[in-house]
């Protein structure tokens, strides 16, 4: 396990805040109650711990599956339905939405091998990520990957009510591998997958899924 490079600044800021508040408390406001001293110290150290934990990147062996679509994120499946995808495909697609709580790993990965054919960032609102309207109205970043058979899938990083920054390393024409890191969303968010209607769905609502491991669906081979 390692700490993601996007977390260094955030962890550094939180560390400085914790040190400042501890100094302020023990020098200027220290009480005569040992229990209160312990509680204050533990609360601030817990804040630092969870900030560090949020940016963790676990070591995983990618569950490479030739015709499978791996989950691009850790989280819970909250939506599976047929929708009209109006940004890129402009036709009916199967949408699978994965909600990422602040306790999930927030690094995102490519669900299939292929070529990046489309990347677009959209500024937007910060509604609760579980809401259906978050897919279009919230700040989000859309990426399309085309495999060797010419099948394209779109996945969308969506900022939530707490998240304020989406990081994507995708660029058009990049050659990418299934399970390879493509970005991170900071502090609570969601990822949507848009698949062909003839894809065979392999998950159901409320399933817990993991990036690089869980097979979300199987794509048509022709």
Would you please indicate which residues are annotated as catalytic (active-site) residues?
A: 189
Q: Where are the beta strands (DSSP E) in the chain?
A: 2-3, 56-57, 68-70, 75-85, 91-100, 107-109, 114-122, 140-146, 152-159, 166-168, 175-176, 181-185, 189-195, 200-201, 208-209, 215-218
Give whole-number Cα distances, 36 to 19, 27, 40, 99, 174, in Å: 17, 14, 6, 37, 54
Contact (Cβ atoms closer than 8 angstroms) between residue 144 and residue 116: yes
Q: Where are the beta strands (DSSP E) in 29-134?
A: 56-57, 68-70, 75-85, 91-100, 107-109, 114-122
């Amino acid at each position: 396990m390692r700490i993601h490079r996007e977390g260094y600044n955030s962890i550094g800021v939180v560390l400085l805040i914790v040190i400042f508040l501890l100094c302020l408390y023990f020098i200027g406001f220290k009480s005569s109650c040992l229990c209160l001293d312990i509680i204050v110290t533990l609360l601030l150290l817990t804040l630092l711990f969870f900030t560090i934990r949020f940016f963790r990147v676990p070591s995983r062996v990618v569950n490479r599956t030739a015709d499978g679509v791996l989950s691009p994120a850790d989280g819970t499946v909250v939506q599976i339905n047929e929708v009209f995808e109006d940004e890129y495909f402009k036709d009916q697609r199967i949408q699978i939405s994965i909600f990422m709580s602040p306790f999930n790993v927030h690094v995102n990965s490519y669900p299939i091998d292929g070529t990046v054919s489309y990347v677009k960032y959209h500024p937007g609102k910060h509604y609760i990520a579980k809401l259906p309207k978050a897919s279009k109205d919230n700040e989000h970043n859309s990426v399309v990957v085309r495999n060797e058979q010419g099948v394209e899938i779109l996945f969308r990083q969506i900022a939530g009510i707490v998240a304020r920054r989406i990081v994507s390393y995708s660029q058009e024409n990049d050659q990418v591998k299934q399970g390879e890191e493509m970005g991170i969303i900071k502090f609570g968010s969601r990822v949507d997958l848009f698949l062909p209607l003839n894809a065979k769905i392999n998950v159901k609502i409320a399933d817990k899924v993991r990036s690089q491991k869980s097979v979300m669906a199987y794509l048509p081979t022709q």
